[in-house]
Structure formats: structure tokens, C-alpha cells
Amino acid sequence: MRTELMIIAALAVAAPARADTRLWFASLNFETTTLVVPAIGVRSTDDRGHEWNAWLTGWTVGADWSVARTPRRRWRVVARVTPVNAHSSNYIYVDGQRDLAASFSAASIDAAAGAEVVHSPRWTGHYRGLFLYDRIRGVPARLREAWNHPFAGIATVQRYSRVRSETRFGSRWEGWKAEAAAEIYSGGHTWSRLRASAGGGHRRGPVFLSAGAAAISGQSLDTVSAFLIGGSWNLAVPDLLVGYRYAEFRVNRAATAAGGVDLRLRGALEVGVRGAMMKAPGLAARGAALQITTLWNGALFEAGVARPYTPGGQGPRRPVLFATVTAALVGR
């Protein structure tokens, strides 16, 4: 899951529009029965156009540094290290049940460097060179050999945003956003991934409506490089699928759609319903969730229960309980 992107987005939304600031962000995400994911980030900026971010999400530690060369161009370097359980290697699901025997050992280090270009006030393009090295163990020899080499690649991400306001640390907005991304790696073998997503929201009185959709496709993917889909947290990440556990599905191609309705009851207290569906080759999944959200002393609290609708041929599933606590602190 691209949780680090959520952290950077949340830091950008929460940061004040002045230089020489430092912003701390922390989030704790729980999902039944055994998954707890901490997310901690810090963002620092100065009046010379320098910026750096550092974060921890689960087992992954990451950092980036960037400098603005012109008002419309910024150079950025990113590095991430996951010493254990990379690619959610300790959470493998078969027919909706966690299969400990299918889990494997994975460590990963990756880096990227390139430019971010503001093509227009609403359109930003990211262009990067990539490096990736994974240490994979506990898998068949053929798969282990395929990952026994470093990979180099290129990537681009194009983002378009037409937003009037953002709340909940960037996880909800009025207006709409769209994103398309492509990446290709070459090393011991060549593989690639494409994804596109769009989402929007609209408030009408005490009711907030939201919807989104995504499509993903890859070539020469395997258990390690497949897209990970699943998770019921209320985050602006298209990899999530309400009603299912984090990374429950590993797919090469899929399309997802989701929608939600939030009703403000009193002050910051809201109750909401979510629905989502996914269609992949040989697989269809749907889920729904009921949740409550409130703000207390500047912290965001969310909790709920999600229900999966069992794909044909699979046994009964239990509901998924989930909760998130998020807060930010600004310093100088």
C-alpha cells in the first residue's frame, strides 16, 4: 500500500504556507485481528526552497529531499528501506484465510531521483529514475533466482487536481483528483506496472458524498511484484478495498470502484457508510462498511466495522473491525 504517499500528502495539507517550518504527523491504524500499522512522518521546509520528509510506515523507513530550481521545477531524491516483511510477505491469504505456510521472507531497498514539473496550476508531472533491490527467501528456487539481482527502471506520475478544499489530513476533498502512473524495471527480468485512478467529493449541507475508481495492470508480475489490494481504513489510497483485510488480494490486473456517504450529526461527529467492489480475472469482490468519525483536541478518530460479500465458491467470512487515530503538530 502506498501509505507513505498518504503521509506526504497529509503533511502538505496540514503544513502552513510559510517557510522555516517543521510539521510532525502520526497515525495508528488497527485492523482485526492482528494488524497494527504505525505511520509517523515529519516535514521540514525553509525559505530557500529546500524541503525534506522522513517517515515510518509499518516496517518501512523512508526519506526524501528536494529543492526548487525554478517556481515550476523541483528536483527530488527518495530512498526507502524495508528490512523485514516487505511486500506484505508475512500476510498471504488463500480463499480469504491467512496462510502462514505460504508466507515468505522479504527485505527491500529502493531509491528514486528525478524532477517534478508544474505543467499548469492543476497539473503536475513527476519523472524519475528508479533503483530496486529485494532479498527474497522462503519461495521456490525459480522465484528466488528471478529476484536475486538489482533492478533499474524509470517511472512517471501525472496528477491533475481541481479541489476547493481538503479535510481529514487530505483523505477527503471537495472537487476531484485524477492520477496516472507507469513504471518499468529491468534486471534479472523485465516487468512493468500501470495504474490510473480518479476520485471526488461534494458536500451538500450536513451530507458529504464521495466516489472513486481505479484500474491497474502489469506485465510479468509475480507474488513479489503483484499489486496488493485490500483494507478497510478510510484513507485516500486506491489500493484499499472495504470489507477485506490489508493486502488480501495479489493481482496482475483489476478495476475497483468505491463510494461513500457521511452524515454530520453534531459538531465534528459524523457517521458514514462505504461501499466498494473489485473485478479481476477470475475474481469479483464486494464489501461495505459503517463507521463513525470525530475530532478531539485536534486529533482525528475513526472506527468502524466492514463486511465482505463472499466471492462465489468461498466459505463464510468474518466482519473486519478497523480504527485509526491521526494527529499533526506544527513547530518552527
Q: How many folded domains does the chain comprise?
A: 1
CATH of the domain at 184: 2.40.160.50
Query: For 121-156, what is each residue's pLDDT tens digit?
Result: 999 999 999 999 999 999 999 999 999 999 999 999
* Average pLDDT along the chain: 90
Q: CB of 166 within 8 A of CB of 173? A: yes
Residue 62 is part of which domain span? 3-331
Selection from 61, 53, 63, 58 nearest residue 81 by Cα = 61
Residues in the chain: 332
Q: Once rounded to an integer, what is the mean pLDDT over residues 297-324?
A: 83
Of residues 9 and 212, which shows the higher confidence score?
A: 212
Cβ-based neighbour number of residue 266 at 10 Å = 8
- pTM > 0.75: yes or no: yes
Query: For 279-297, what is each residue's pLDDT tens digit?
Result: 999 999 999 999 999 999 8
Q: Is 234 helix (H, G, I), strand (E, B) or coil?
A: coil
- Residue 272: band (very low, low, confident or very high) from pLDDT cuts 50, 70, 90: very high
CA-CA-CA-CA dihedral for 14, 16, 19, 22, to nearest 10:
-40
pLDDT for position 1: 44
Query: For 20-65, what is each residue's pLDDT tens digit?
Result: 678 888 999 999 877 899 999 999 988 888 899 999 998 999 999 9
